[in-house]
Amino acid sequence: MIDIYSTERLKNFLPKIKSFVEDELLPIENHLLTTSFYELSPLLEEKRKIAKQLGIWAPYLPEREGGSGLSLTEFAQVSEVLAWTLYGHYCLNCQAPDVGNIELLSDHGTEEQKEKYLKPLINGDIRSCFSMTEPENAGSNPVILDTKAEKSEDNYIINGRKWFTTGADGASFAIVMAVTDPDAGNYQKASMIIVPTDNPGFKRVRNTPIMGEPGEGHDSHSEIKYDNCKVPVENIIGKEGEGFYLAQQRLGPGRVHHCMRWIGTAERALDMMCQRASSRSLGGDTLLAHKQTVQNWIAESRASIDACRLMVLNTAHMLETVGSKNARNEISAIKFYVANMLQEVLDRAIQVHGAYGLTDDCILSHWYRHERAARIYDGPDEVHKSSLARQILKNYGVNKK
Amino acid sequence: MIDIYSTERLKNFLPKIKSFVEDELLPIENHLLTTSFYELSPLLEEKRKIAKQLGIWAPYLPEREGGSGLSLTEFAQVSEVLAWTLYGHYCLNCQAPDVGNIELLSDHGTEEQKEKYLKPLINGDIRSCFSMTEPENAGSNPVILDTKAEKSEDNYIINGRKWFTTGADGASFAIVMAVTDPDAGNYQKASMIIVPTDNPGFKRVRNTPIMGEPGEGHDSHSEIKYDNCKVPVENIIGKEGEGFYLAQQRLGPGRVHHCMRWIGTAERALDMMCQRASSRSLGGDTLLAHKQTVQNWIAESRASIDACRLMVLNTAHMLETVGSKNARNEISAIKFYVANMLQEVLDRAIQVHGAYGLTDDCILSHWYRHERAARIYDGPDEVHKSSLARQILKNYGVNKK
Amino acid sequence: MIDIYSTERLKNFLPKIKSFVEDELLPIENHLLTTSFYELSPLLEEKRKIAKQLGIWAPYLPEREGGSGLSLTEFAQVSEVLAWTLYGHYCLNCQAPDVGNIELLSDHGTEEQKEKYLKPLINGDIRSCFSMTEPENAGSNPVILDTKAEKSEDNYIINGRKWFTTGADGASFAIVMAVTDPDAGNYQKASMIIVPTDNPGFKRVRNTPIMGEPGEGHDSHSEIKYDNCKVPVENIIGKEGEGFYLAQQRLGPGRVHHCMRWIGTAERALDMMCQRASSRSLGGDTLLAHKQTVQNWIAESRASIDACRLMVLNTAHMLETVGSKNARNEISAIKFYVANMLQEVLDRAIQVHGAYGLTDDCILSHWYRHERAARIYDGPDEVHKSSLARQILKNYGVNKK
Amino acid sequence: MIDIYSTERLKNFLPKIKSFVEDELLPIENHLLTTSFYELSPLLEEKRKIAKQLGIWAPYLPEREGGSGLSLTEFAQVSEVLAWTLYGHYCLNCQAPDVGNIELLSDHGTEEQKEKYLKPLINGDIRSCFSMTEPENAGSNPVILDTKAEKSEDNYIINGRKWFTTGADGASFAIVMAVTDPDAGNYQKASMIIVPTDNPGFKRVRNTPIMGEPGEGHDSHSEIKYDNCKVPVENIIGKEGEGFYLAQQRLGPGRVHHCMRWIGTAERALDMMCQRASSRSLGGDTLLAHKQTVQNWIAESRASIDACRLMVLNTAHMLETVGSKNARNEISAIKFYVANMLQEVLDRAIQVHGAYGLTDDCILSHWYRHERAARIYDGPDEVHKSSLARQILKNYGVNKK
């Protein structure tokens, strides 16, 4: 906890989160690592009940909606701790993509949508997914979309192919991004529409296997075919053409969420590095911890994790004080900066663990594989760097070419 | 093919290898990627038959033993091509650890050992494994071994625990490194002993799951318990106490093999990078290939792959002309230098492929996961760097402290 | 100015500093760059007068001593701006090593010492130097010192050789670190003693030329011979044996000062990068700014400068709130982390400027040369990394070996 | 000497070069470092005489022209040794830009030009310079040139501004690149013309100070004004419009020369690193050489220097066997790859030397400053990377955009 970003509420709340992670999750980490989602589900449901009893459920929500009313800056610090192991966010109902969908429906849903979709989602009774990325189109340029939603009387008929629809397996509904007006400007042509997954036009083609894991339930990334998928016009979120605008709204807090999760994960990896270094003998009384190369890695990791945490908290604070538009550069910067730090720290932690670090007994192997995505999803590094630079260069009179 | 390392024999031989890889393996790469070893076995046996018919089987062996008598420097260039996809080495019976065991038995086995173990191994009728690494001891200091082989009458009684015994699942015999004389000097205390895997004292505890894959058959890394495992004294390879000496013999050529495999893999990754960059549109007529960052990656990869290839071929050439002792520094250097190049090139290739590069449909995901081990096995980077530096510093009068 | 580290006082003060730098120094930067210190002196004296008139002189001093009473965290933000060009700190009498000597005498000097040395130093009437590093001993292990101060009646007789005594040329006095009790513990054997430079035993051997510059006056790094240099015992600062303790006191704020200076310099280098990129044509309507590699550099520099600034301000804040002992790790971390960032940003800025960046017309060439020292003085990177890591590893039960 | 690139001639020749450098230059390195060119001249002339007597003068020239007829690949290995210290190339008359001008005139000069300019140049009686880079135009795009040579009767009237005309101070003639036909295609519009420096229209504006050094004689980089500079049309080299074609001819061998020089310098820096590490005590019996970080640097430097040497020799060999067109990619690759290796090795060597490495007593400081240019001149890294990548991508059907 950085003194300057601390609050009374947080001083009270954070220890509960640490206890939850340390008492309920860390002791069973190996089981969580080696068991599939559906097999784990009953156990995870128990943990979720405990979280509700402890009053730490969905802490980002206002108290009236069952949360703890944490500010973004406060929640970020909670999120870091939840990321020390697997399922921390899931147990508190803070997992992507549901948390993003909750924010979206909360801010832009109709009363009917809230009643039907938001309430059970907040309560953890159902899961949801977000269907945007398309296999044929570069994620780095999100305005290129082939999926179309054509209005026909009181319905939208949706056709298209999506993939990397995280958590679609077992979700109750998807929010799909589809072109509603192909002739509109780049940023006005798409809309977000709710599609219940039991709709006959919603076809889950497969869970795409990622980095050696088939994926299942919440832990899956599905390919979806929207095949003349008919949904009533009331299923639109916000107005027609607002798809990118709404997506933009998700982005700032979404990136703070991701980044703080990565920081928690990096912090745990550093802790594991130190644990390993201090216990692994190299013969005689020499420990791995006595090796200068290992010391370099520990020091460099300590410094860069701390740098990243300060950047993310500063960005969260700016989002809350000067707004997302004025924090635009900071939001771009943390995305690539923190993702790269994470990859470096994980790589060092694995090297310190040697062969053991490669095995599926070790959470580092899990993270090494799954967090490689951090530099790709939500805009690859390259896009964020160019976008940040162009924003800066505008002040020097340079226009995009 | 680097002109200066080319030979007439190679000019004739290499095109056959390229055809084999391009005709027999690349077209079924996706099947090879997503199917388990035992399921694949019948298909792989077919491919092995084709390799035999084409006269490219075990090309490193002398012609009288059924090979093509390639020199190390020639074979290295073959090995590179075999590494463009999965199972290239396996189909030609050049896969680790069998190839190392073949060399070992060929050079140091008794006639009986050759008849019983080497012959069927060369013919591809059986597989073998090599059992050295122990979970409790740092691989970076191989002289620390807990596994013991005590002589009792005409037998050795072996007790100990090993892991990362590659390919033990389904192997006919293991070559185990065990301490035969605990009181001898560090490099004289261990011996290599053949243990048939149907010996009741040889207990395969499990195939350790690695980077998301359970592992099976040739593609496994087992944990083994040697539990009062009794084998006749004739099963020793060479003389008692020669274990480290024999291990040393494997090392030079072994590292050349690894490094050339990595170079082949990196070369393929670069090819995939270019394929992807030249076919992925970013909207309008802009291709990924037009992006300067992607161009940087392609150029840097081209340069560093070429640098590595020249280093490895030079090392192979030195091994053959001035001997492993005089090529000691070069052997250390290629191990860490090439492994790091590979990791960098794979990382860039994945970034160019975006989300698709993370899926198990893409061989890059396989390599990203499994070749992380390159910087760890056979001595982690750190050990090779210190060892190379100390060797150099000896010329400046510095002794190990 | 980071909102969270801002204060009313700073909001009022910082614009004055910016105006001073922009109006008085930046317009004559080329002259400052290409003129030697003594030639510049009259001009610099004028600028110092202006600074006094503007009420921005020595702002870190309490108001009663003629300063503005800025806190360390506030002063850090001033220091950043002063580092945009040459002589910013000098014009406000904040330059090393005088500022460190002022703090030292202020906190630990006797009334006589304050009257004789501190007062004219604060007023800018004289300069001073700090004499610690010895050519024969590794700066990375400061407790190894050969210079001795032997007591003889009421005097110390100092003998030894120092170098990198910054600013000795033209200084009125030196504070020298010398061993007063060779038999005491490592950290108790040395003391700090004031030596007027007109003492016949104080022999300035030469100004060591550094990175192509002979060095002169404040801009010099001298080699000093203390040759039976006799000074009265009253010239000791604090008590005998307190040398390292006092040095330690300098360190925390000293590193904050250095780091903030580097951040200001990096910020200017980034600004120059953007200026150059936005004005340099590559033919047609393509600017350097349109090149993705240049955009990458701008974005990466923006992110890492911001990360560093947040780290340093957080460290300054900790120094002021929880004390230097509790900020020990942070102080180690910023030293190497910020110095490396600076070197990277300068390297990119030069690359963007091409051949022009190498010429002495361009301040980047000056910084490229002189700030290479940042990773060496005050403890090289390697020492800080090991020290930080060992501090962390103590919590895991690891003792120094 | 790499066995595979060795020849009988080289085995005989190289030891002479080593002796020359070790006996004549290394012992006076400090003097060479700290003395200006004109002051050094008489001494350098003596050394040149010795080189002539030893039969090692201008070894790249055919024997009939007074050289030793070394091939490019042989000469590269000589050049490496010459680069261990300052003035090695100068003493053997192999220094840029004269060596390039000699090759140019040798291959493309008229008999008159050879008699008047080439002969005394070969003999070391005069020096020359090459005038191409312009301050207002990006060196990365060499076809943009403002300097014009207009024909008027039997003369060219040259007008324009050049800088970084290396060695112009004291040179007898310049070869200037100027536009002779503004309407021709990009690569056909310029020509190379010889301009005697005593021509009244050739105005040396100043020696641009670079990295802290004013520059003088051979060690200078001048700004030149061509002010209605009239020279007879016979002074053209080759035909009108062949300027870029001739420049292209210089490039391949020129880059091999640069790269081998950098390798020699890096090799010396590594040697100094080892010398320093093995002699610098850190207290007790611990040497700098015992530190793992220093060992890492030594090992990494050893590996990357060796990799670079193999690349450059392979490129030289290709230039001689398959021609510059077929070695185009290799030539691009070595330029950026070796320049970056050099910078890294020098940086490590300085860090190992601590403060001493920053002083002008140490050749590392000289190289650190002056070899930063390696990543800029003759095409910055970025241009070579893009150019190499585009060349590769052509095989995948990608056209320049």
What is the DSSP track for A270-335? HHHHHHHHHH-B-STT-BGGG-HHHHHHHHHHHHHHHHHHHHHHHHHHHHHHT-TTTTHHHHHHHH
Length of chain D: 401
> Is the Cβ–Cβ distance between D316 and C340 less than 8 Å?
no
B341 CB neighbours in chain D (<8 A) are none
Alpha-carbon Rg of chain B, whole angstroms?
22
Cβ within 8 Å, pair A286-C386:
no
The string of DSSP codes covering A34-86 is HS-HHHHHHHHHHHHHHHHHHT-SSTTS-GGGTS----HHHHHHHHHHHTTST
D110-141 b/e with 16+ CB inside 10 Å = b?
A: eeebeebbbeebbebebbbbbbbbbeebbbbb
Nearest to C212 among D163, D288, D360 (CB): D360
Nearest to A208 among B281, B354, B359 (CB): B359
Distance of alpha carbon B162 from alpha carbon B173, whole angstroms: 15
Size of the A and B interface in Cβ pairs below 8 Å: 122
Residue in chain C closest to D280 (alpha carbons) equals C138
For residue D59, say if its preceding peptide bond is cis, omega within 30 degrees of 0. no
Distance of alpha carbon D290 from alpha carbon D277, whole angstroms: 8
> How many Å separate Cα A112 from the centre of its chain?
27
pLDDT of residue C160: 97
Q: Residue D382 is which amino acid? A: E
Distance of alpha carbon C236 from alpha carbon C228, whole angstroms: 16
pLDDT of residue A1: 62
Task: Indicate whether D211 pLDDT > 70.
Answer: yes
pLDDT of residue D1: 62
The string of DSSP codes covering C58-76 is STTS-GGGTS----HHHHH
Q: In a mutagenesis test of the B interface, which of D294, D295, D313, D330 is the best target, namely the one with the most B β-carbons within 10 Å?
A: D295
Task: Copy the structure tokens of residue B361.
Answer: 């449909």
ipTM > 0.90 for the complex: yes
Q: Residue C147 is which amino acid? A: T
B287 min Cα distance to partner chain C (Å): 14
Cβ within 8 Å, pair B376-A356:
no
Those residues of chain A whose CB sits closer than 8 Å to some CB in chain D are: 291-293, 296
pTM, rounded to two decimals? 0.97
Q: pLDDT: is B378 or D92 the higher one?
A: D92
- Dihedral of alpha carbons C386, C389, C391, C395, sign: negative
The HSE-up count of residue A60 (CA atoms within 13 Å, CB side) is 23
Alpha-carbon Rg of chain A, whole angstroms?
22
Cβ within 8 Å, pair D293-A291:
no
Task: Copy the structure tokens of residue A258.
Answer: 């991701």
Residue in chain C closest to A312 (alpha carbons) equals C307
D292 min Cα distance to partner chain A (Å): 6
pLDDT of residue D252: 84
Q: Residue B92 is which amino acid? A: L
Cβ within 8 Å, pair A292-C382:
yes
DSSP A238: S
Nearest to D275 by CA among D293, D245, D298: D298
Cβ within 8 Å, pair B291-C292:
yes
Place of tokens 């630079």: A389
pLDDT of residue D250: 80
Distance of alpha carbon B192 from alpha carbon B97, whole angstroms: 14
Regions of chain A short of the pLDDT cut 70:
1
Count the neighbouring beta carbons within 10 Å of the beta carbon of residue C6: 14
Contact partners, residue A151, CB within 8 Å, separation at least 6: A157, A180, A233
Nearest to C229 by CA among C203, C204, C191: C203
Distance of alpha carbon A189 from alpha carbon C75, whole angstroms: 51
Q: What is the mean pLDDT of residues D273-295?
A: 95
What are D132-151's pLDDT values in tens digits?
999 988 877 778 899 999 99
pLDDT of residue A167: 96
What are D266-275's pLDDT values in tens digits?
999 999 999 9
Nearest to C138 among D163, D280, D358 (CB): D280
Nearest to B78 by CA among C64, D294, D102, B67: B67
Those residues of chain B whose CB sits closer than 8 Å to some CB in chain C are: 291-293, 296
DSSP B213: B
Nearest to A245 by CA among A159, A351, A128, A324: A324
The HSE-up count of residue A394 (CA atoms within 13 Å, CB side) is 8
Regions of chain C short of the pLDDT cut 70:
1
Size of the C and D interface in Cβ pairs below 8 Å: 123
> Is the Cβ–Cβ distance between B48 and B105 less than 8 Å?
no
Distance of alpha carbon B21 from alpha carbon B47, whole angstroms: 10
Q: Residue D278 is which amino acid? A: S
**Which chains form contacts with chain D, at 3 or more CB pairs under 8 Å?**
A, B, C
Q: Which residues pair with A194 in a beta bridge?
A: A175
Distance of alpha carbon D75 from alpha carbon D88, whole angstroms: 13
Length of chain C: 401
B296 CB neighbours in chain C (<8 A) are 293
Q: In a mutagenesis test of the D interface, which of A282, A291, A293 is the best target, namely the one with the most D β-carbons within 10 Å?
A: A293
> Is the Cβ–Cβ distance between C369 and D211 less than 8 Å?
yes
Distance of alpha carbon C59 from alpha carbon C88, whole angstroms: 13
Task: Indicate whether D248 pLDDT > 70.
Answer: yes
C369 CB neighbours in chain D (<8 A) are 211-212, 368-369
Task: Indicate whether D65 pLDDT > 90.
Answer: no
Mapping DSSP to helix (H, G, I), strand (E, B) and coil, where does residue C117 land?
A: helix
> Is the Cβ–Cβ distance between D140 and C282 less than 8 Å?
yes
Distance of alpha carbon B285 from alpha carbon D229, whole angstroms: 47
Nearest to B226 by CA among B135, B343, B326, B308: B135
pLDDT of residue B133: 93
- C-alpha dist (Å) from residue A11 to A3, A34, B65, D113: 10, 34, 74, 85
Mapping DSSP to helix (H, G, I), strand (E, B) and coil, where does residue D285 land?
A: coil
Distance of alpha carbon B334 from alpha carbon D295, whole angstroms: 16
Alpha-carbon Rg of chain D, whole angstroms?
22
- C-alpha dist (Å) from residue B184 to A276, B143, B190, D8: 30, 12, 9, 48
Distance of alpha carbon C154 from alpha carbon B177, whole angstroms: 73
Q: In a mutagenesis test of the C interface, which of B288, B291, B293, B352 is the best target, namely the one with the most C β-carbons within 10 Å?
A: B293
Task: Copy the structure tokens of residue B391.
Answer: 């060797």
Distance of alpha carbon C388 from alpha carbon C391, whole angstroms: 5
The string of DSSP codes covering C153-215 is TTEEEEEEEEEEEET-TT-SEEEEEEES-TTS-TTTSEEEEEEETTSTTEEEEEEPPBTTB--
> Is the Cβ–Cβ distance between A145 and A177 less than 8 Å?
yes
Contact partners, residue A382, CB within 8 Å, separation at least 6: A140, B291, B293, B351, C292, C296
For residue B97, say if its preceding peptide bond is cis, omega within 30 degrees of 0. yes
Residue in chain A closest to B133 (alpha carbons) equals A355
Nearest to A377 among B283, B355, B365 (CB): B355
Q: Residue D2 is which amino acid? A: I
* Terminal alpha carbon distance of chain D: 43
Task: Copy the structure tokens of residue B128.
Answer: 């073998």
Mapping DSSP to helix (H, G, I), strand (E, B) and coil, where does residue C22 land?
A: helix
Nearest to D290 by CA among B260, C282, A292, B346: A292
C288 CB neighbours in chain D (<8 A) are 138
B107-135 b/e with 16+ CB inside 10 Å = b?
A: ebbeeebeebbbeebbebebbbbbbbbbe
Distance of alpha carbon D312 from alpha carbon C199, whole angstroms: 58
Q: Which domains does chain B have, with CATH numbers?
A: 3-95 (1.10.540.10), 128-241 (2.40.110.10), 244-394 (1.20.140.10)
Distance of alpha carbon D329 from alpha carbon C297, whole angstroms: 26
Regions of chain B short of the pLDDT cut 50:
none
Phi, psi of A167 (to 5 degrees): 80, 10
